[in-house]
Amino acid sequence: MTPRMIQLSESGVTVEFGDTIDLHTNELVSAFTAAVDQAGIPGLIEVVPAYRSATVYFDALLTDAITIMDNLRALTVNMAVAPSRPSVTHTIPVWYGGTAGPDLAEVAAQAGLTPEDAAALHASVTYRVFMLGFSPGFPYLGTVPSPLAAPRLSTPRKQVAAGSVGIAGTQTGIYPQASPGGWRIIGRTPVLLFSLHRPAPFLLAPGDLVRFVPIDEEEFAELTGDPA
């Protein structure tokens, strides 16, 4: 297919690979992002991959939208559709329910499941990082098994704890930092998704794979080094 290119600003061009949220489209986005990262296009600033598009920002003093679009078109023609690198799989422990997951019971009830079965179902699939956004390190993961799909809260919480795992529609995500949030919170991970105190501040990158492993409150406390 020929991707559609649209100018976002004097210094940004968005390249669309489809108009749905699906694995194939997102794999094209990842392959394109990798190709742009490696191409060394003069004046390139950064690429922002999303679900079905990638936006390329450039220095509009060094180059222009027409030139950039020509460069990008050439890249898409020669682009390898196969992933340019093997996907990294991250195993992320999650304490489901309890005070860590105040919305688990409701999500489970709506699916006709016990909270334990709902947690097991959530942890039964491998998720793809479709994109990151909202806040530093926040991954949009897909796709949630359909019984667990749940709309956002009608009134967002003022404060969601760091590490909270939530569901919004068929997406699941993790809040790296404490923040306001409208996703249905079903659990919490002790893993830091974003930390400036390590060489790679961001745990997850677009295109990575994630598996959740249920843990209990005690294991959570051990992993956080919390004496409680």
Partner 1 sequence: MPVRPPVIHVLHPGLFTTVQDLGRYGYQRFGVSVSGAMDSWALTVGNRLLGNPDRAAGLEITLQGPELLFEQALTIAVTGADLSPTSNGLAIPMWTVFAMKAGSRLQFGERRQGARAYLTVAGGLTGPMTLGSLSTHVRSGLGGPAGRAVKKWDQLPVGPVMRRSAQTSERSMPEAYRPRYVQSPTVRVMQGPQSEHFMDEAFRRLTESSYRVTSESDRMGYRLQGAELPHRASAEIISEAVCCGSLQVPSNRQPILLMADCQPTGGYAKLATMISADRSLAAQLAPGDSLSFRMISAQKASELFRSSRAELDRILPPHRS
Residues that bind partner 1 (rule: CB under 8 A) add up to a total of 45
DSSP 180: E
Of 72-80, 136-144, 153-161, 184-192, which part binds partner 1 (CB under 8 A)?
136-144
Determine contact, residues 186/101, Cβ cutoff 8 Å: yes
Query: Does 177 engage in binding with partner 1 (CB under 8 A)?
Result: yes
Query: Under rule CB under 8 A, which residues in 100-119 are in contact with partner 1?
Result: none
What's the rounded Cα separation, in Å, for the pair 94 and 172? Answer: 13
Q: Of 190, 170, 113, 144, whose CA–CA distance to 105 is shortest?
A: 113
Q: How far is the CB of 58 from partner 1 (least distance, A)?
A: 11
How many CA atoms does the CB half-sphere of 24 hold within 13 Å?
Answer: 4
**Can residue 53 be called a binding residue for partner 1 (CB under 8 A)?**
yes
The CA distance from 160 to 134, in Å, is: 14
Asked if residue 223 lies in contact with residue 93, where contact means CB atoms within 8 angstroms, the answer is yes
Nearer to partner 1, 138 or 220 (CB): 138
Stretch that binds partner 1, among 87-95, 108-116, 196-204, 214-222 (CB under 8 A): 196-204
Of 1, 31, 32, the C-alpha closest to 14 is 32
12 touches partner 1 (CB under 8 A): yes
Closest CA to 166 of 151, 98, 154: 151
End-to-end CA distance of the chain: 56
User: 14-43: which residues touch partner 1 (CB under 8 A)?
Assistant: 14, 19-21, 33
- Residue 201 is a binding residue for partner 1 (CB under 8 A): yes
Please state, in angstroms and rounded to a whole number, the distance separating the CA atoms of residues 198 and 77: 38
Task: State which residue, 21 or 118, has the beta carbon closest to partner 1.
Answer: 21
Residue 105 Cβ, how far from partner 1 at the closest point, in Å?
28
Q: Which structure tokens are listed for 176? A: 């790296």
Listed ranges 5-13, 74-82, 108-116, 120-128: which one lies at the site for partner 1 (CB under 8 A): 5-13
Positions touching partner 1 (CB under 8 A) are: 6-12, 14, 19-21, 33, 45-55, 57, 60-61, 64-65, 131-138, 140, 177, 179, 194, 196, 201-202, 205-206
